[in-house]
Structure 1
Amino acid sequence: MSEPRIRALALCVFHHHGKILVNQFHDAVEARTLFRPIGGGIEFGERGVDAIAREVKEELGLSISDIRLIGTLESIFTYAGKPGHEIVFVYDARFDDAEVYEKPWLEGHESDGAAFQATWRFGSSFNAGSQLVPEGLSELLGWVQK
């Protein structure tokens, strides 16, 4: 078993007409559906802003610009029965291809090759049964009062 560690993560919310772009995950252990913006781990020596541009290119094959940091969250959680701890840099950005915003979903691939569909969702679509993660993201986006 590997040593527990804190993971640095960069995520991008991509605002569009009151929606954000998210990837859906299912936690079979806790029987819950989770939604998380596009992004991934920050590599050693890499800045968060560079990590999010790389992750979007790797996962969606798309380039982005106007990247801006909107906040930082600390997330301590359990997923699939395993504890996790992340420091999450949350960005907003713009896709260089404006046609992306007209699509109901985007096809993507995780680093392990697994395919996924990222969808545009309103903040009101998230609840206890279909939760937006990391914890605190809804508050950061102004969707929930602290």
Structure 2
Amino acid sequence: MPPYIRPLAICIFHNDGKILVNHFQDGAPDRSFFRPIGGGIEFGERSRDAVVREVEEELGLAIHNVQLIGTLESIFTYAGKPGHEIVQVYDARFDDAAVYEKPWLAGCESDGAKFRAVWCGSLSFTEAARLVPEGLLELLVTAGLLR
């Protein structure tokens, strides 16, 4: 398949200066990254609808107050392959307030892979464990959603 630009929608859930993220390995044992919940926008689907769907699919949870906070463009290499994404970044709240009291949430990717989404503050993100997509950390700090 030839290279292409992938449209994504991700959702920032923030609580007490932390955001909910999924932790991934970047192929090398000393490199990893964190990314908020979300995924691909399907053809004919609005990005807002995609983020609501992705949260439901991955976490089994309903959300409300979904608001666009920015758009980022990310050009990167993952597992030795180039990637290019246009990312719609949303802020939202879980319908169930009890979710914010949990240290982590069980999730499942579309391929069936299980994961744990965890609450992390800005000090969790380093050069060896980046928050992606590029520019997201700055956007969240500027918007006052992450300390």
* Equivalence for 1:16: 15
* Equivalence for 2:129: 130
Matched, 1:85 2:93: no
What residue ranges of structure 2 are gaps of 5+ in the alignment?
Answer: 143-147
Contact preservation (8 Å) 1:29, 1:81: no
- 1:13 Cα offset (Å): 1.1
- 1:26 Cα offset (Å): 0.2
4+ runs deviating over 3 angstroms = none
Give the TM-score normalised by the residue count of structure 1: 0.95
* Equivalence for 2:62: 63
What residue ranges of structure 1 are gaps of 5+ in the alignment?
Answer: none
* Equivalence for 1:76: 75
C-alpha distance in 1 between matches for 2:37 and 2:141: 19
**C-alpha RMSD over aligned residues:** 1.1
Cα 1:19–1:120, aligned 2, differ >3 Å: closer, same or farther?
A: same
Q: Deviations for 1:104-123, whole angstroms, at most 9, x for unmatched residues? A: 00000000000000000001
C-alpha distance in 2 between matches for 1:142 and 1:107: 26
- Partner SS, residue 141 of structure 1: helix
- 1:31 Cα offset (Å): 3.8
- 1:125 Cα offset (Å): 1.4
> Identity of paired residues, percent?
68
* Equivalence for 1:27: 26
* Equivalence for 2:111: 112
